[in-house]
Structure 1
Amino acid sequence: MKYVVVTGGVMSGLGKGITTASIGRILKNRGYSVTAVKIDPYLNIDAGTMNPAQHGEVFVLKDGGEVDLDLGNYERFLDINLTSDHNITTGKVYQTVIEKERRGDYLGATVQIIPHITDQIKEFIRKAAENSNGNGTAEICLVEVGGTVGDIESMPFLEAVRQMAGELNKKDIVLVHVTLVPEDNMGDHKTKPTQHSVKVLRELGLHPDIIVGRSETVMNSSTKRKISDFCDVSQKAVISAATAKDIYEVPMEMEKEGLADVIRDFLGLEERPVKNDWYRIVSREYTKRASVAIVTKYGVEDVYISIKEALKHAGRSLSTEVDIYWVDAESYEESELRDVDGILIPGGFGPRGIEGKIRAIKYARENNIPFLGLCLGFQLAVVEFCRSVLGWENAISEEMGEGKHVIAILPEQEDVTDLGGTMRLGNCTVDLKDNTMIKKLYGSDTVVERHRHRYEVNPEYIGDIEKSGLVFSGSSGPRMESCEIPEKDFFLATQFHPEFKSTPTHPSPPYIGFVEACANRRKGE
């Protein structure tokens, strides 16, 4: 096993996750099997109970793990399916060590950060490296250390990395440091933040092998030489990472910088033929356009990264550029929906903005505008249909308050109080009904998709709803998984989250159908 460890300095939000994913893509394009680990230094066990407006999207893995959004980027860039083992948090580490201490595993020793916490971190990293996509051990494991160098929360993880570097052969680990290279008013790149960041890293006993300088424009050779001289890194190992128009362009830009050859030399990897199929897919030119309104209450785009990327994947496959308009569920005017080609209602929790989303669904249904509902969007599509078509004016989800609960709590969750474990999470097999839109899109009788929800369509009302024209086209046992209205050009909603499995090479079928319908609507105007 060889390791590529990625750290960050100066400030958060520089793009360590995209850098890590891009390195993985570069290596995968050369025929190496790659897996990835994300280390998050927060005390939470996982990302499941975090406020999405503060932390961003909670990405769901196949085993139900609720993790940081960077793992979504890993899966999209690398075409792999990760597990909960691939996300390590401070909370998870300390919980495991304390459980071991309570069992007496340490034989009465005083439990300390070193060696017990650092040993557990190394154990987690090795376990994740060996658990590669269900297909045996990968050749290379990417390890992204969250936070920035110098943060107190990151100290135990960086110490564990330092120990690993000493325990492994020199050719088995390479340290990549991502740092900020700002520009002054004259357009000159400033290297001082990078110098200070590397100094802090060295004080922790770590020496970067490669420096990735994040800047708005490409660094010139004199800037690279200055970083090389002050940070004791080979000039060819100073990589310029200028802001790209699209995240999928980053691996191509790093290819131009020669990063693949630098990593191969450090790790002693054999040279293999380069496959460019992935690059051709993500750089496909657009010939059509479509606009989509996403009706949201969070107002933070990072909450919906997987949705944005799934729309992009579908658009690429159809040569259709998708313009996204963010619509505030609590304050929008109907005129904001009038000129869009499609309306999308995403998932979410809580009653805020619900009535606005229901109004948007009604507008889409009554005006035959292509509609895609996801999770909560699926539930609200059922609520809106019950109110408007069946005349059940007090139809509502049990989550939102009193009324006719056409959406109800999962029976097995009624007595559960631990918010970290009350949801239906991860992969589930969905049976698709014959002669439906969703079956045509998937081209299969069954599909496996991912869930993240607590409430379901109330079985008591399914018969009445279907008699009135809303077809439940997908199911998992007694649970309804998708609904559609056959006479509409495109009206589809899913209880599952198809965006979580969408990648550039395998776009999500519901998104392909939705984007195609949006493009056709614009073409027909």
Structure 2
Amino acid sequence: MSKRIGIIGDFNEHLKNHTAINEALTISRQERYPVLDFEWLSTKNLHIGELSNYDGLWLAPGGPYQSDENVLAALKWIRESKHVPFLGNCSGCQYGIIEFMKNVIRLVDVNTEEVDAHAGNIVVSQLSCSLRGNIDQSVFINEETKAYEIIQKKKITETYNCNYGLNPKYQELLDEHGFIVAGVNEDGEARMLELPDHDFYFLTLFQPAMNTSKEHPHPLITAFIHSCCS
């Protein structure tokens, strides 16, 4: 029986971080999971009722999306499902933070600085040092997390292409409400988060698809696909 992964995002064939996701999934399909199918789901035409048709969901980079409202609704459904494997990268990470802040912590007037610099709660703010342009940076993994169980390393090097991330002022608040910071940069700022009460739910500011190959598949992508196909 085939397995289906839905990639939530507004696909652009000219964006390397989009085609890299296709390449990463294609490699895994050819090598280990021949029954795996995947397709892109336009945010503008996204219907929450159709999400249950997929064995896993991946929120791609590319925000602001054509429909931020649909993306946030999808994230709420995924989080509350507890069982549908999920991976969100770059802006996918940023929107995952926003959804949790709104619907779990119940903050009001929540936004990213990129979209609304005058919001009451800017939970996603401009990074102190830009990571735009496929920049590599070290990530230090918390050994008491699912992320460490998957990656099996205390320190990894990952590829970024962004200017915004979790506002450090809200990092402790997330931890207090059960959204665990699983990986940080050398300054202790969040680069990877996980929901322990979900079977597989990870947000990464870095883009694992940009750092994977047939010879060296990214362990987080491998674990995601395995979870989808189990």
Q: Give the TM-score taking structure 1 as reference length.
A: 0.41
Of 411, 414, 436 in structure 1, the residue corresponding to residue 128 of structure 2 is 411
Supply the distance in 2 between the matched residues of 1:371 and 1:475 (Cα, whole angstroms). 20
Alignment of 1:31-430 (within 5 A): 289-297=2-10, 299-301=11-13, 303=15, 304-350=18-64, 352-368=66-82, 369-401=84-116, 402-403=118-119, 404-412=121-129, 423=132, 425-430=134-139
Q: Give the counterpart letter for 1:436 in structure 2.
A: T
Supply the distance in 1 between the matched residues of 2:14 and 2:34 (Cα, whole angstroms). 22
Shift of 1:507: 0.9
Supply the distance in 1 between the matched residues of 2:99 and 2:109 (Cα, whole angstroms). 10
Q: Does 1:501 align with 2:216?
A: no
CA contact (8 A) 2:138 2:156 kept: yes
When residues 429 and 483 of structure 1 are mapped into structure 2, their CA distance, relative to the original with a 3 A threshold, is same
Q: Which runs of 5+ in 1 are unaligned?
A: 1-287, 414-421, 521-525
Shift of 1:331: 2.4
When residues 410 and 394 of structure 1 are mapped into structure 2, their CA distance, relative to the original with a 3 A threshold, is same
Shift of 1:352: 3.5
Supply the distance in 1 between the matched residues of 2:65 and 2:29 (Cα, whole angstroms). 32
Supply the distance in 1 between the matched residues of 2:167 and 2:161 (Cα, whole angstroms). 17
Deviations 1:487-521 (A, max 9, x none): 1110011100111121112111111111111112x
Supply the distance in 2 between the matched residues of 1:294 and 1:496 (Cα, whole angstroms). 17
CA contact (8 A) 2:208 2:218 kept: yes
CA contact (8 A) 2:43 2:65 kept: no
Higher strand content, 1 or 2: 2
Length, aligned pairs only: 224
The 3-state SS of whatever aligns with 1:411 is strand
Shift of 1:358: 1.6
Supply the distance in 2 between the matched residues of 1:510 and 1:516 (Cα, whole angstroms). 10
Q: Give the counterpart letter for 2:77 in structure 1.
A: Y
Supply the distance in 1 between the matched residues of 2:101 and 2:12 (Cα, whole angstroms). 30
CA contact (8 A) 2:138 2:158 kept: yes
Supply the distance in 2 between the matched residues of 1:519 and 1:501 (Cα, whole angstroms). 22
Per the alignment, residue 518 of structure 1 pairs with 228
Supply the distance in 2 between the matched residues of 1:359 and 1:519 (Cα, whole angstroms). 24
When residues 300 and 456 of structure 1 are mapped into structure 2, their CA distance, relative to the original with a 3 A threshold, is closer
Higher helix content, 1 or 2: 1
CA contact (8 A) 1:350 1:400 kept: yes
CA contact (8 A) 1:290 1:320 kept: no
Supply the distance in 2 between the matched residues of 1:317 and 1:487 (Cα, whole angstroms). 30
Rg (Cα) greater in structure? 1
Supply the distance in 2 between the matched residues of 1:442 and 1:320 (Cα, whole angstroms). 24
Shift of 1:443: 1.1
Supply the distance in 1 between the matched residues of 2:199 and 2:34 (Cα, whole angstroms). 18
Shift of 1:375: 0.6
Supply the distance in 2 between the matched residues of 1:432 and 1:317 (Cα, whole angstroms). 28
Identity among equivalent pairs (%) = 24
Shift of 1:316: 4.1
Supply the distance in 2 between the matched residues of 1:341 and 1:490 (Cα, whole angstroms). 12
CA contact (8 A) 2:141 2:184 kept: yes
Q: Give the TM-score taking structure 2 as reference length.
A: 0.90
Supply the distance in 1 between the matched residues of 2:91 and 2:219 (Cα, whole angstroms). 19
Shift of 1:455: 0.6
Q: Give the counterpart letter for 1:355 in structure 2.
A: E
Per the alignment, residue 486 of structure 1 pairs with 196
Per the alignment, residue 462 of structure 1 pairs with 171
Supply the distance in 2 between the matched residues of 1:493 and 1:470 (Cα, whole angstroms). 10
CA contact (8 A) 1:291 1:340 kept: yes
Per the alignment, residue 70 of structure 1 pairs with none
Supply the distance in 2 between the matched residues of 1:412 and 1:294 (Cα, whole angstroms). 29
Q: Which runs of 5+ in 2 are unaligned?
A: none
Q: Give the counterpart letter for 2:24 in structure 1.
A: A
